[in-house]
């Protein structure tokens, strides 16, 4: 009887030992998985940081190269300005000097056009807040919101505004403004008279 009991106890102990061992192995396995995932995450994060830094360096290099290309295209314009100024020192003809400056100006605008830059039209144009910035609005014989004068050129780059044109805008003629004001006053008077009549009728009732 005692031998049977001892055997049963031994079997239970073996079973518990196996369960503990299995549990311990399971825990160890999960810890290994967590450690592997953590290391993978750290490597991924490090790789992403390296990619971001390399990408920033490439973007900066692209900006520098783009600036270099623009500068290389501007240098001939600067050379022509220097030649024009040297001719002034030599006592060149004023009309020839002006023609030279006009040619340099044309050269510069050709350079801008080739780069996708266009001047915003203002001559005989209706004011458009997308393209124009009104610095002043004055009475004139021109229709209301017609651009009278350009103070500073505006430009677009590939059809997107990079600088608004600064302009003077017409507010219409003084006569037309006066007529509008009189019409508004007349309409207000009529409204007031109607309200007064309604009030009188209510009081009489």
In whole angstroms, how large is the CA radius of gyration of the chain?
42
Q: Do domains 1-115 and 118-204 have the same CATH topology?
A: no
Q: Which residues contact 166 (CB under 8 A, 6 or more apart)?
A: 132, 133, 135, 150, 151, 152, 154
Over residues 173-201, mean pLDDT? 54
Over residues 151-167, mean pLDDT? 95
Domain boundaries, the chain: 1-115, 118-204
Question: CA–CA separation, 68 vs 160, rounded Å?
Answer: 23
Query: What residues does 157 pair with on adjacent strands?
Result: 117, 160
Over residues 165-174, mean pLDDT? 89
pLDDT at 177: 47
Closest CA to 94 of 104, 84, 103: 84
CATH superfamily of 118-204: Head domain of nucleotide exchange factor GrpE (2.30.22.10)
DSSP 166: E
User: Is a pLDDT exceeding 60 seen at residue 202?
Assistant: no
pLDDT at 166: 97
Residue 126 in 3-state DSSP? strand
26-30, 55-59, 131-135, 153-157: segment of lowest average pLDDT: 26-30
Q: Is the pTM of this model over 0.85?
A: no
pLDDT at 186: 56
Report which secondary-structure segment, H or E, holds 43: helix 2-89
* 1-115 CATH pick, 3.40.50, 3.30.1370, 3.30.1380, 3.90.20: 3.90.20
Q: Which residues contact 144 (CB under 8 A, 6 or more apart)?
A: 170, 171, 172, 176
Over residues 100-108, mean pLDDT? 91
Q: What percent of the chain has pLDDT over 90?
A: 33
Closest CA to 139 of 198, 110, 111, 180: 180
Q: How confident is the model at residue 125 (pLDDT cuts 50, 70, 90)?
A: very high
Question: CA–CA separation, 167 vs 122, rounded Å?
Answer: 8
User: Is a pLDDT exceeding 70 seen at residue 110?
Assistant: yes
Question: CA–CA separation, 37 vs 43, rounded Å?
Answer: 10
Q: How confident is the model at residue 151 (pLDDT cuts 50, 70, 90)?
A: very high
Q: Each residue of 48-88: pLDDT tens digit?
A: 888 888 888 888 888 888 788 888 989 999 999 888 888 77
């Amino acid at each position: 009887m005692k031998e049977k009991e001892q055997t049963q106890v031994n079997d239970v102990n073996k079973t518990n030992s196996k369960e503990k061992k299995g549990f311990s192995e399971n825990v160890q396995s999960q810890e290994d998985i967590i450690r592997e995932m953590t290391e993978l995450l750290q490597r991924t994060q490090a790789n992403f940081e390296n990619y971001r830094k390399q990408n920033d360096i490439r973007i900066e290099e692209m900006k520098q190269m783009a600036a270099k290309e623009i500068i290389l295209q501007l240098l001939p314009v600067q050379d022509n300005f220097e030649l024009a100024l040297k001719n002034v020192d030599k006592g060149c003809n004023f009309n020839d000097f002006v023609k030279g400056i006009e040619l340099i100006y044309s050269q510069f605008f050709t350079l801008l056009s080739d780069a996708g830059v266009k001047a915003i039209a203002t001559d005989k144009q209706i004011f458009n807040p997308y393209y124009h910035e009104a610095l002043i609005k004055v009475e004139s014989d021109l229709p209301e919101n017609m651009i009278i004068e350009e103070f500073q050129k505006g430009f677009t780059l590939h059809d997107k505004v990079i600088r608004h044109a600064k302009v003077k805008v017409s507010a219409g003629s003084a006569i037309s403004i006066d007529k509008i004001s009189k019409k508004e006053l007349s309409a207000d008077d009529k409204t007031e008279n109607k309200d007064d009549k309604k009030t009188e009728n209510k009081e009489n009732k």
